[in-house]
């Protein structure tokens, strides 16, 4: 590993500082990796694991994330997403946990403790948010359509500007 420069102005060249309790928090999170993965047909085990994850986050002052939730469940983000799509009880538990994480992240962003760009990224990638503009077209409802004859009469009576004579111009 590179030694790093403690006084560099470039963050990527600085020696990373360790946070008090970071090793204990990492050890607690790593304990989830050692457990058997939760099965979607066992919602009680899923509920217990989600509660354990939030408890560890609270105990060590960690911000809960979807990735951490998936680590606690022993499943990939894709697998957990499938649980939600299938509408199982475990999927509902995961969905509710993700709502709590999203609410916390939004609160952190509003209070200035989280960069709003990070919040937008998380919400787009984990919570179904998206940038889009919807354009709705609807037919005219006043039934004031003109017939072809009415349009022909309207435009035959109107005075059009004269067409200039361009025959004398050279190419």
Q: Which tokens is 135 given?
A: 């354009």
Question: Which of 31, 22, 100 minimizes the C-alpha distance to 61?
Answer: 22
pLDDT of residue 101: 92
Distance, CA of 70 to chain centre: 16
Q: What is the pLDDT of residues 50-98, one digit of tens each?
A: 999 999 989 888 889 899 999 999 999 899 999 999 988 999 999 999 9
* Overall average pLDDT of the 34-53 stretch: 92
pLDDT of residue 137: 81
Q: How far apart are CA 42 and CA 94, in angstroms?
A: 13
pTM of the model: 0.62
Mapped to the 3 state alphabet, what secondary structure does 103-161 carry? HHHHHHHHCCCCCHHHHHHHHHHHCCCCCCCCCCCCCCCCCCCCCHHHHHHHHHCCCCC
Q: How far apart are CA 85 and CA 93, in angstroms?
A: 12
């Amino acid at each position: 590993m590179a030694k790093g420069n403690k006084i560099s102005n470039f963050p990527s060249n600085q020696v990373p500082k360790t946070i008090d309790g970071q090793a204990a928090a990492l050890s607690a999170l790593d304990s989830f990796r050692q457990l058997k993965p939760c099965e979607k047909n066992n919602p009680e085990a899923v509920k217990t694991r989600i509660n354990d994850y939030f408890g560890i986050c609270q105990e060590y002052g960690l911000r809960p994330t979807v990735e951490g939730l998936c680590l606690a469940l022993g499943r990939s983000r894709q697998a957990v997403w499938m649980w939600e799509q299938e509408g199982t009880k475990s999927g509902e538990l995961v969905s509710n946990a993700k709502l709590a994480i999203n609410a916390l992240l939004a609160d952190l962003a509003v209070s200035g403790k989280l960069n709003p760009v990070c919040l937008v990224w998380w919400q787009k990638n984990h919570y179904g948010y998206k940038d889009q503009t919807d354009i709705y077209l609807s037919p005219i409802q006043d039934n004031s359509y003109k017939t072809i004859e009415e349009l022909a009469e309207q435009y035959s009576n109107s005075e059009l500007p004269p067409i200039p004579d361009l025959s004398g111009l050279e190419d």
